[in-house]
Amino acid sequence: MPTDRSRSAAGDDGAIWPLLAAIRRRWWLLFVLAIVSVGVAALALSQRTPTYAAEAQILVVPFPAGDANITGIEILRETNDGARDLQTATALLTSARTDEAAAAAVGRGVTADEVSRSVALEPIGGSNIIAVRATSSDAREAARLANAYANAAVAERDDRIKEQARVAIKAIDGQEGAEFAATRQQLRSLRDQGDPTVSVSQGAGVPTAAEGPSDPVVLFAALIAGLVLGTIGALLLERGDRRVRDRAELLAAVPVPVLTGVPSPRGHKGIDMPPPVREAFRTLQIQLDLKEHPGCRRILVTSASSGDGKTTTVLNLAFALISAGHRVLVIDFDLREPDLGPQLGLDDPTAVVTTLTTGQGLSQIMRSAPRLPPLRVVQASSGPGDVALLPTLTRRMSEVLEEAASMADYVLIDTAPIGEVGDALPLMPDVDDVLVVGRPGSTDRRSLDVMAGLFERADITPTGWVVTGVETTSSRYHEQGDSAGRRRRGARRRG
């Protein structure tokens, strides 16, 4: 029997991309992380202090490099590197005295240290402009800082050049000649006008919005981040999930027909099941009856892993068979976790191990189920170490099944999950049908692979799947059938 499960990649989603399938199955993770991300972003925004940035501009026009008449004046001279000229001008315009002058111009208790931290001069590449950028939590304050610093920086340069020009004029005072006359003229111009290489070309306006993205943009980005994290989480969970996703994955591992799909009992247990579940097992009963078989029919029920609904399947199939008029005997051979007897109201489990090893007759250990009197039950109970006797017990079970064939139309055998332990495997040659129970979202994928491998190596082909936990919709036929049954039971009680 092939065990290749390549077809399960698509599953019930057909050709849907596995990423979309993972998102569909774990949409709640995306929802939670999106809500958390937006909530954290909203909290951060509520605590955020807005920062406003204002910018003034200083125009830089370097003095011609070839003019040597004003030697000794610290004026910006032109070079062949415009970027270097801007960097030099930026350094000349930055000083502690400028910080103090700007702080005094702004007033309002602003200190020179605050100005130094709030204002930055940034050369604008590819131009002859230096940006004076000031930041503050108040938009008007940012504009005042930028304008005050730009004006103070230019004024500081003017004062410095004027003072140097006065000193230079005094140095050549009394010198005669055309050359000194031209120099005095240039120095007088610098003394009167200040530094001609820098000037405020544009004042700072009051910013209308805070720096950084707006609140809606931040919240939207947080939403996207949450969805991305949720998608990554869904994929990681999908890769680490060992559970079978869907019916197609069960069929890919063990390709036999699905005899019935059993809806979730939704809180019901044992044989107390809602109408849709009853109908599912009635469908299974009809299929078994349609397949002609001489004499007693022995059916072994197993599963890949625990929790798939194996024992519930045995009980409700027994109920359906009895309702159809058959004599039914149920044997609990799950010696590791026997649960069939308690669900039927039997509280005195027979020690099957002792019975089988001593050769006691089957009729001596059968019990009538209190919750379903026509059903006869051989329940299981074993003591510590009895599992080691399983090889002996399975050989004895062949005789027990032969004896059971004379007592019932159907013998149902509940066994341990074959994907976890191999207890059921030796019994399969002595039965007529093997029903495999699987539950998408519960069946362990590794146990399913083990079960499929055992079937293949033992050359066993199960009769079919009983898929539990399937989605279903309520039908008026179920409701009408259930109502009719209640009316008949009520009439019998009144009679």
Q: Is residue 208 part of a domain?
A: no
Q: Is residue 11 part of a domain?
A: no
Whole-Å CA distances, 213 to 39, 43, 204: 17, 16, 21
In this structure, how many other beta carbons lie within 10 angstroms of the beta carbon of residue 145? 28
Q: Judge if 59 and 86 occupy the same domain.
A: yes
Q: Judge if 253 and 229 occupy the same domain.
A: no
Query: How much is the pLDDT for 295?
Result: 85
Domain encompassing residue 191: 52-202
Helical pair 82-93 and 139-171, crossing angle rounded to 10 deg: 100
Q: Judge if 428 and 463 occupy the same domain.
A: yes
Q: Is residue 406 part of a domain?
A: yes
Q: Judge if 356 and 460 occupy the same domain.
A: yes
Token couple for 168:
């230079």
Query: How much is the pLDDT for 150?
Result: 94
Q: Is residue 40 part of a domain?
A: yes
pLDDT of 4 over the 50 cut: no
Q: Is residue 475 part of a domain?
A: yes
Q: Judge if 179 and 227 occupy the same domain.
A: no
Q: Judge if 344 and 195 occupy the same domain.
A: no
Q: Judge if 462 and 334 occupy the same domain.
A: yes
Give percent of the chain with pLDDT exceeding 70. Answer: 83
**Using an 8 Å Cβ cutoff, are 310 and 443 in contact?**
no
Q: Judge if 317 and 447 occupy the same domain.
A: yes
Q: Judge if 141 and 220 occupy the same domain.
A: no
Token couple for 323:
């309702």
> Tokens 């033992």 correspond to what residue?
458
Q: Judge if 91 and 72 occupy the same domain.
A: yes
DSSP string, 37-51: HHHHHHHHHHHPPP-
Q: Judge if 423 and 326 occupy the same domain.
A: yes
DSSP string, 136-165: ESSHHHHHHHHHHHHHHHHHHHHHHHHHHH
DSSP string, 218-267: HHHHHHHHHHHHHHHHHHHHHHH--B--SHHHHHHHS---EEEEEEP-TT
Q: Is residue 304 part of a domain?
A: yes
Ranges of H-type helices in 324-424: 340-343, 352-358, 390-405
What is the mean pLDDT of the segment spanning 161-178?
A: 83
Q: Is residue 207 part of a domain?
A: no
Q: Is residue 256 part of a domain?
A: yes
What is the mean pLDDT of the segment spanning 232-241?
A: 77
Q: Judge if 472 and 399 occupy the same domain.
A: yes
Counting the structural domains of the chain, the total is 3
Query: How much is the pLDDT for 118?
Result: 93
Per-residue confidence band for 155, with pLDDT thresholds at 50, 70 and 90: very high
* 69 vs 52, more confident: 52
What is the mean pLDDT of the segment spanning 290-298?
A: 87
CATH of the domain at 428: 3.40.50.300
